[in-house]
Amino acid sequence: MSRNTEVFVIGGGPAGLSAAYVAAKLGARTLLVDDSSRIGGQLIKQTHRFFGSSNRDAGIRGITIADKLQQDIKDVSDKLTVLENTAAVGFYHNKEAGILSHSAYERVSYQSAIVCTGATENSLAFENNDLPGIYGAGGVQTLMNVHGIRPGQKILMIGSGNIGLIVSYQLIQAGVEVVGLVEGSPAIGGYLVHASKIRRLGVPIYTSHTILKALGTDEVEGATICRVDEKFQPVPNTELDIKCDCICLAVGLTPLIDLFQQAHCRMVHVGELGGLVPLHDSSMRTTNPEVFVAGDASGIEEATTAILAGRIAGARAYESVHGKSPQAEEIVAEAREELRTLRSGSTGERIRWGRERVMKEVGEC
């Protein structure tokens, strides 16, 4: 079987949903596929209120933003087809892609594709890091906030970025004791208000520390942590054993990029953005002119910026099928201005450096 669409969006997280909504709203026939049984991506697990501008979604819980995006796409259902439980498995020549669901493999021919595949969780090297009871932060959120099951009774969090801090708070809300949060750097990585929030509920924050090993033979029974020096090397005789039945790894994300490589997009390695990302311009167009990108796949950031980049990609993908449009231009201009504001200030520094590098390399293409 085969399908035909003007705009083909891969991934139903905040970036993909926003891209598909904008493309369809402007008038493009759009197909969105997502490999999970419930669209919304990671937003459906976010019980906390979002930062950002109140003009957009700040102060609203992630789960509520997911509901809003899902409502938006219902409003454009005459132009937009959504397929859940369907994975995009390959790009072929002549603007064709393959999609796979439980029941069938189909071909999709498209005019523009927007790839919003998100990211995958990083692991960390330490002794016994393969024991049952060691979970990624996303895995913990899925188990806890989607399926209503606690990962354990006592958990040790590794990583003090926003994800480590926020998931620690979510664990406390679910009734799990967070026995500590371990961070290799001397300073907390995420927003300090998130850190204070868990600290005043009694979670010890071990900065300049690392995990040496997980304790236990067949399951996690504890962890040994120790102090590290300025070069992140363990300081002898500073080991501390902590009892816990789970360890949560919140040590960063890596963009999911397989499809860009299949589509022959030029890739560039930018550490600030999480690793290899497809080179793209400020319209979110990759070096393959039919392929756009948005969200974590274009560089690890967060949901609000993913929504805005998705809106830009959706508007430009529409234009590449139907030609220039003043409404599309307006959406792009507005989203660009919001992105600029969100990324300003000292906490946006790393992202700004990363994105400037991508833009510079694009200019040199």
Site for another protein in 168-197 (CB under 8 A): 172-175, 186-188, 191-197
Smallest gap from Cβ 159 to another protein, in A, equals 14
52 CB contacts (<8 Å, ≥6 apart)?
Answer: 58, 304, 342
Total number of residues that touch another protein (CB under 8 A): 74
Nearer to another protein by Cβ, of 143 and 362: the residue is 143
As a whole number of Å, the CA-based R_g of the chain is 21
Q: Which of 23, 321, 342, 358 binds another protein (CB under 8 A)?
A: 342
Smallest gap from Cβ 107 to another protein, in A, equals 23
The answer to the question of residue 341 lying near another protein (CB under 8 A) is yes
Q: Do the Cβ atoms of 17 and 32 come closer than 8 Å? A: yes
Distance CA 96, CA 98 (A): 7
Smallest gap from Cβ 130 to another protein, in A, equals 6
DSSP state of 53: -
Q: Which of 6, 35, 296, 301 binds another protein (CB under 8 A)?
A: 35
70 CB neighbour count, 10 Å cutoff: 18
The answer to the question of residue 59 lying near another protein (CB under 8 A) is yes
Q: Which stretch binds another protein (CB under 8 A): 45-53, 108-116, 264-272, 288-296?
A: 45-53
Taking CB under 8 A as the criterion, which residues in 124-153 touch another protein?
130-136, 138-140, 142-145, 147-153
Beta bridge partners of 155: 178, 246
Angle at 181 between CA 228 and CA 118, to 5 degrees: 100
The answer to the question of residue 36 lying near another protein (CB under 8 A) is yes
Amino acid letter, 71: Q
CA nearest neighbour of 301 among 284, 288, 318: 284
Smallest gap from Cβ 251 to another protein, in A, equals 13
The answer to the question of residue 219 lying near another protein (CB under 8 A) is yes
Distance CA 295, CA 288 (A): 18
Nearer to another protein by Cβ, of 219 and 356: the residue is 219
Nearer to another protein by Cβ, of 266 and 352: the residue is 352
The secondary element (H helix, E strand) that includes residue 88 is strand 87-92
Smallest gap from Cβ 40 to another protein, in A, equals 12
Nearer to another protein by Cβ, of 6 and 296: the residue is 296
Q: Which of 125, 345, 363, 364 binds another protein (CB under 8 A)?
A: 345
Nearer to another protein by Cβ, of 219 and 329: the residue is 219
Q: Which stretch binds another protein (CB under 8 A): 25-33, 118-126, 264-272, 312-320?
A: 118-126
The secondary element (H helix, E strand) that includes residue 175 is none
Sign of dihedral through CA atoms 356, 297, 187, 123?
Answer: negative
Smallest gap from Cβ 18 to another protein, in A, equals 18
Smallest gap from Cβ 282 to another protein, in A, equals 19
Taking CB under 8 A as the criterion, which residues in 63-82 touch another protein?
63-64
Q: What is the DSSP string of 106-145?
A: EEEE-SEEEE---EEE-----BTTTSTTEEEHHHHHIIII
Q: Are strands 134-136 and 246-249 parallel, antiparallel or unpaired?
A: parallel
Q: Do the Cβ atoms of 10 and 39 come closer than 8 Å? A: no
For the window 244-283, what string marks contact with another protein as x by the rule CB under 8 A?
Answer: ----------------------------------------
Return the structure tokens found at 175: 């009734």
Sign of dihedral through CA atoms 187, 193, 198, 200?
Answer: positive
Q: Which of 4, 38, 105, 201 binds another protein (CB under 8 A)?
A: 201
